[in-house]
A and B are shown apart, each in its own frame.
Chain A
Amino acid sequence: MAAPMKATVTVTLKNGVLDPQGRAIESALKGLGFEGVGDVRAGKIIELELADGTSRETVEAMARQLLANTVIENFRIEMP
């Protein structure tokens, strides 16, 4: 049996939206002695198993209606 079709939706905060978690990660990395770390932004990855033939438009609709809050977040879809 073939592996199910998968889509990956990456959700990140929009530019211009302050990301306090990214800031904290940035400062922790610097605290650990890593140099040259610039802006850090944290996001989330949502992996979906989908029925074969599910369209990108359908996944986009999922992202708009639930997976991302487009007031503050952007999303990127990767699928075959």
Chain B
Amino acid sequence: MKAAVIVFPGSNCDRDLADAITKVTGTAPQMVWHAETSLPEGLDFIGIPGGFSYGDYLRSGAMAARSPVMQAVVAAAGEGRTVLGICNGFQVLTETGLLPGALMRNAGLNFVCREVRLEVVNSQSIFTSRYAAGETVTIPVAHHDGNYFADEDTLNRLEGEGRVAFRYAEPVNGSARAIAGILNDAGNVLGMMPHPERLIEDAQGGTDGRRMFEAAQAALG
């Protein structure tokens, strides 16, 4: 699996994500700076990391979504390449339009930083095939703007098409229908607020995030 991790000014989970990919797949991803206008050739997997790209100016993810490298990521997603956006990466993906909806300020206004229980809703995707549908996993969140919003039609479509990958199994941020992660219509793009890259080995307190990277590697070779 040939992977890249995009790095914006203000990204702070880029090295965690690269470390997770390296430890699970055995191959280090290429780190790609936001000002690049093209991606390395032959990528299978593109990671958009968590953090506070461009200081969250204007809206979380808004500036990053208009950066040169994201035009290349949008094109790559259109070609069917696998894209995973975590936390700020999810916000960036909604701002580019690769995923529907928006991530708003948490309903309780507080920054939420703790482990949360998630229900795996779709276990058929590139990202989630190593989980069982209905299984509960524990993965940390750390965000201020994770309150997923979309209009009712969009929410019904996401649910009807099996595009809700994860739901919160406990109150976290006020997200519509407790949505924690969603897929695009082709299934090659996943955005999620929780941080699977933070739970890939026992030293981190658990391994519930590891299976996501194992699933991607199994699907992408």
Contacts and interface: CB of A to CB of B under 8 A. Distances in A.
Interface of A: 17-18, 20-21, 24, 65-67, 69, 71-72
Given A66-B66, A71-B102, A71-B150, A18 B107 contact: yes
Given A17-B149, A18-B174, A20-B174, A69 B105 contact: no
Contacts of A17: 104, 149
B184 to A, nearest CB: 15
Interface of B: 58-59, 62, 66, 94-95, 100-102, 104-109, 147, 149-150, 174
Given A66-B62, A67-B58, A72 B106 contact: no
Given A18-B107, A20-B106, A71-B94, 15 more contacts: A17-B149, A18-B104, A20-B105, A20-B107, A21-B109, A24-B109, A66-B62, A67-B58, A69-B59, A69-B62, A69-B95, A69-B102, A71-B101, A71-B150, A72-B104
Contacts of B101: 71
The 3 A-B pairs of least Cβ separation, nearest first, read: A71-B102, A72-B102, A20-B105
A20 B150 contact: no
B68 to A, nearest CB: 15
A58 to B, nearest CB: 17
B62 A71 contact: no
B71 to A, nearest CB: 13
Nearest to B101: A71
A20 B102 contact: no
A8 to B, nearest CB: 16
